[in-house]
Amino acid sequence: MFRFTVLNDLNEVAISVRGFLAWIRANPKEVSKEFWELGCDREQNFYGTVDEVLEKVPPSMDPNNEVTDGDFWDLALAVSLLKTLQGILDYALETNQRVVCEHWGGFESGSAGAGTSASLEIAAPASTDSELLTPSPQLAAIVGEQRLRRTEIVSKLWAYVKANGLRDSTTPRMINADARLLPIFGKAQVSMFELAAILGNHVR
């Protein structure tokens, strides 16, 4: 079984990946609860801290063989994959490409030993990247009323969040709504991973 997913809104995905890596660094205790082990390198030298994993683990398209000697999901493997995805997204954004994910195996069944995997490749430029969108009145109060590309809208929104100190100091992946953002978010706080869906309701 094969499935293909074209990643649109690459800037939003890239921001989410960088934000999640930053959250990992800022919340080592929470991260440690999610993984049985931090992982080890190819020589079976085990990492002692989350910071050590973030600093030493490189990106790789084949991390099970090139990065870690472990046979199960650990932080080293997760960080390598995140760094790889970040590099692919940054390259795609710089060269106006799109990213296509190819999935194979039993993703729907979730059965053990199904042989699931995923590969990424750079494909032809995505036509949606240049599509101009009209922001809703609520969103226009922040990004302006002119028609903009989705990546431009996201950049302006993040600039507003940063300028007004709206990232939560305790949980950086969360964004606190002020009077302007509340009509857009619909609640007092949202995760950065929710932004794509929220913005989709405020452009046409």
Residue 122 DSSP SS3 = strand
pLDDT at residue number 7: 63
Q: Are 187 and 177 in contact (CB under 8 A)?
A: yes
pLDDT at residue number 110: 36
pLDDT at residue number 143: 93
pLDDT at residue number 68: 76
Question: What angle (nearest 5°) sits at the alpha carbon of residue 170, between those of residues 17 and 33?
Answer: 65
Number of H helices, E strands in the chain: 9, 7
Please state the length of the chain: 204
E strand spans, the chain:
2-7, 98-104, 117-123, 132-133, 148-149, 174-176, 189-191
pLDDT at residue number 135: 93
Question: What angle (nearest 5°) sits at the alpha carbon of residue 163, between those of residues 157 and 168?
Answer: 85
Task: Write out the two tokens for 140.
Answer: 């226009």
Dist. CA 173–CA 166, nearest whole Å: 11
- Tell me how far the alpha carbon of residue 83 is from its chain's centroid: 10
pLDDT of the chain, 204 residues: tens digit per residue: 344 455 667 777 888 888 888 888 888 888 877 776 788 888 878 888 999 999 998 888 777 777 876 556 788 888 988 888 888 887 777 767 777 665 444 433 333 333 334 444 444 444 344 578 899 999 999 999 999 887 788 778 888 988 999 988 887 678 899 999 999 999 999 877 677 678 888 988
Dist. CA 38–CA 93, nearest whole Å: 31
pLDDT at residue number 193: 62
Taking Cα atoms as reference points, which of 134, 147, 108, 107 lies closest to residue 202?
Answer: 134
